[in-house]
Structure 1
């Protein structure tokens, strides 16, 4: 068992070391007045379009903020001998499929000091022994490590929130997060990796968020201003609680900059979601 644990820790270290060289500054300066999305109104409450205004009248569509780095969602991204790309993950008929819930660019912004990281496990989990989550800074230094035991793992969408006992993410700090899925046979392990940067919203955006009347309206504001992790967490929480509009969840995950359509109908599990 000690030898197996050693191999796992070594695999994590190698994976992060391979990927960390691909972590340049994530985004250019976000303009204080980004493009607004005026997509179809939210009529989930039964009202007419002219009954609503501002964020309440807009669909939850994610708009990618300007960035000054290459797109790592395709060619040029690092690979691992374990079989999982350092990207959103692998999907298909293989039972070990894993998918990170992040935009196509493989990176996203958060305004939170302790954000939540969402991912999906697809297919059978009968032989999954554990899942490990690792957050590292741009130099490859481990910030947080946690694991889920077999009893906590089921197919579906899971979220791991950075605990308040961990130092908050630094403003403008850039980080890489990775999820490792371990199965009974070591050669079947899979992992996927994505990137996150903490940014302070502009005064205008912060004011809109503070004035929002609901978590749904906050999600609209976060999404249209490029704060992916915060928009996703707002809607995932609403969906799990049964108080969200399924169309909002569909709109966010099917946004042009996201295209996570295969995850739309997957259950959001109790494990590790924010309180």
Structure 2
């Protein structure tokens, strides 16, 4: 082989090495830079998502808009909220008070809703819960233990309770059980509830939202029980958030429950 041919062969090998080296460096940079860029983009996306969620929590306005004209004629009015409690005692939270709107029906979209009542400081150890259907037939009963503290308790129908049927009206009651058991004069309250089927628009809107956003959607659609339950859930997730405390108090005040708006959630 001549010297020129040897030189050309060496030059070709050197060029191949340079091309391979350049390709290796490029690939190495891609392996480092691309994941870094992806991580950066994901981090920015997560930060943006978190910021958006925080912003939604701050701006979500939870109000209750009473349902329209399709409510039944025998829905609960304001009279059932106070029972036999004198107005002067009710105004300072001195009686058992159900957390239901005044002069409007209570709607739910779930078969096992959550009920809320306020209990003043008392000696009762239990409260009796009763739920009957529109034919006055017993639907579910339970005894709920108490701590004696003043505040708002909640009770959700358990899984072993038959679910509420869509389109039917029910009446519920909470009665405090004293040392002498249930008596005709035992303090208690009652309310009414009707289960409805949510429309397609609301079902879509309720997907992938936070509890505070759910509360706002339920409130705008006049669904009281889930409005209150969703807002209570948001408060439990962030018990020290003053913004959520304020939303809770404003909601209760808007439906005439200002006397107990600042009372603590006990469970």
TM-score w.r.t. length of structure 1: 0.66
Mapped to 1, the partners of 2:92 and 2:179 lie a distance apart of: 18
Look up the match of 1:207.
204
Look up the match of 1:4.
none
Mapped to 1, the partners of 2:175 and 2:194 lie a distance apart of: 21
Look up the match of 1:166.
161
Moved over 6 A (4+): 77-80
Contact 2:140–2:162 (CA under 8 A) maintained in structure 1: no
Look up the match of 1:111.
109
In structure 1, stretches of 5+ residues that fail to align are: 1-46, 271-275
Mapped to 2, the partners of 1:103 and 1:194 lie a distance apart of: 10
Mapped to 2, the partners of 1:94 and 1:260 lie a distance apart of: 9
Look up the match of 2:226.
230
Distance 1:112 1:247, change over 3 A: same
Look up the match of 1:269.
266
For residue 153 of structure 1, report the CA deviation from its aligned partner: 4.1
For residue 74 of structure 1, report the CA deviation from its aligned partner: 4.8
Look up the match of 1:149.
145
Contact 1:59–1:251 (CA under 8 A) maintained in structure 2: no
Distance 1:236 1:194, change over 3 A: same
Distance 1:56 1:203, change over 3 A: farther
For residue 118 of structure 1, report the CA deviation from its aligned partner: 0.5
Residue correspondence of structure 1 range 183-202 to structure 2 within 5 A = 183-184=178-179, 186=183, 188-202=185-199
Residue correspondence of structure 1 range 1-150 to structure 2 within 5 A = 57-67=59-69, 68=71, 69=73, 72-74=76-78, 83=84, 91=90, 97-105=95-103, 107-122=105-120, 124-125=121-122, 127-150=123-146
How many residues align structurally?
A: 207
Contact 2:82–2:90 (CA under 8 A) maintained in structure 1: no
Distance 1:200 1:187, change over 3 A: closer
Bigger-Rg structure (1/2): 2
Contact 2:97–2:118 (CA under 8 A) maintained in structure 1: yes
Helix, strand or coil at the partner of 1:254: helix
Contact 1:120–1:156 (CA under 8 A) maintained in structure 2: yes
Mapped to 2, the partners of 1:221 and 1:78 lie a distance apart of: 25
Helix, strand or coil at the partner of 1:239: helix
Contact 1:133–1:145 (CA under 8 A) maintained in structure 2: yes
Distance 1:149 1:141, change over 3 A: same
Mapped to 1, the partners of 2:219 and 2:188 lie a distance apart of: 27
Mapped to 1, the partners of 2:179 and 2:92 lie a distance apart of: 18
Look up the match of 2:6.
none
Mapped to 1, the partners of 2:248 and 2:93 lie a distance apart of: 26
Distance 1:63 1:78, change over 3 A: closer
Mapped to 2, the partners of 1:260 and 1:141 lie a distance apart of: 30
Helix, strand or coil at the partner of 1:105: coil
